[in-house]
Chains A and B, each alone.
Chain A
Amino acid sequence: MTKYSPAQTTRWVADNVSDHDDVLKIEVVSDQVIKVYRQKHDPFFAGIVSAKCVAKEVIEELVKSDFDIDIIVNIPKDAIWVGEAINFAEDNSIATGSYGDLLRVIHLDDVRSYLPRERKFIERGLRQHDRITRFVRLYDNVYKISRRGLPDLTVAMLYEYELTADALRTARDRYGAFSIAVITNPNGSATSSASDVAKNIGVSILKWGEFFGRLNKP
């Protein structure tokens, strides 16, 4: 397995983002930090992370750095953020996300208040459901949900177009136990093999609307 240094990944991100139409130039200010100069807005600092699991310790130096970082992005797609790390960044007014989110914030005046669109959609839905009393982010896509008069639920939100057996097994390996997998992509569905895996590991696969109904049941 080939290994790459954080500096190589940051350099790669800088090279790519510099091609963005709204970017004037990119300055690599450290092995894990770039400064993005934009056509229409003030420059911002982005912290670049390449971790399979972004825990609080992974981002601590970036959060406390002198660069006054606006957003921290984790480059691998097959990776997870621990809820505590997201909350730690948010508590310090730093946005979090993926490489795609880095491209999206280039258009925004206020980078720090950016929320990845999936998280925004899910958390707004959870806040609006009157059975839910509170929810805790365990991971970027896993929530512990407390309900009025009903037991808590641990729910994985999977934005999949096709939820495959491997995707479900991988989610279980990465996130640990959850009882419900919600396909949040409105056009998404699960393969028959994924449904078989779900039965074997005791997980219900639901679409977003079905999940809202399930929240009212024990």
Chain B
Amino acid sequence: MNSISLNSVFFELIVEINKLRDVAPGCRWYKFGSAVSSKAMVSDIDLLVVYPASSDCNKIRASLAGVCNCYPVHLLLMSEIEEMEMNFINNEGAIELPVGS
């Protein structure tokens, strides 16, 4: 996947994520994996969502389904507790997405 089309997918994701801010408040959004670390052609787009309440999961999956059904987006949903337990953001070098900016 080249960087231009990768950016276009992230752009579409951010549009959808912004629509979700009132529905699932308090979520944090990150990109990680090969889209961050590799300059080579990547086979998927890793998106991490750290959520405060498990009731957010269904809303997030439903709202992002349009984009996720068309592009190879790996959606990883972690509760705040799970993220702290795994220290995933630091270990993976995940980068927070500019949501709401």
B: interface residue count bin = 20 to 34
Assess whether B76 is interfacial by the CB under 8 Å rule. Answer: yes
Assess whether B96 is interfacial by the CB under 8 Å rule. Answer: no
CB–CB A76/B78 < 8 A = no
CB–CB B57/A76 < 8 A = no
Question: Which one, A12, A99, A103, A162, contacts B86 given CB within 8 A?
Answer: A162
Instruction: State which residues 105-140 of A face B: CB under 8 Å.
Output: none
Q: How far is the CB of B55 from chain A (nearest CB, A)?
A: 11
**CA of A8 to CA of B12 in the docked complex: distance in angstroms?**
14
Instruction: State which residues 1-28 of A face B: CB under 8 Å.
Output: 1-4, 8-9, 12, 15-16, 19-20
Assess whether A148 is interfacial by the CB under 8 Å rule. Answer: no
CB–CB A165/B79 < 8 A = yes
Assess whether A202 is interfacial by the CB under 8 Å rule. Answer: no
Q: Which residue of A lies closest to B8 (CB)?
A: A12
**CA of A11 to CA of B43 in the docked complex: distance in angstroms?**
16
**CA of A198 to CA of B66 in the docked complex: distance in angstroms?**
29
**CA of A166 to CA of B48 in the docked complex: distance in angstroms?**
12
- CB-CB < 8 A to A19: which residues of B? 1-2, 41
CB–CB B76/A76 < 8 A = no
Q: How far is the CB of B53 from chain A (nearest CB, A)?
A: 12
CB–CB B5/A16 < 8 A = yes
CB–CB B85/A192 < 8 A = yes
Assess whether A185 is interfacial by the CB under 8 Å rule. Answer: no
CB–CB A78/B73 < 8 A = yes
Interface bits B43-76 vs A (CB < 8 Å: 1, else 0): 1100000000010010001110111111111111
18 contacts between A and B (CB under 8 A): A2-B67, A16-B2, A19-B41, A52-B69, A75-B71, A75-B72, A76-B70, A76-B73, A77-B44, A77-B72, A77-B74, A78-B69, A98-B72, A99-B44, A162-B88, A165-B54, A170-B57, A192-B85
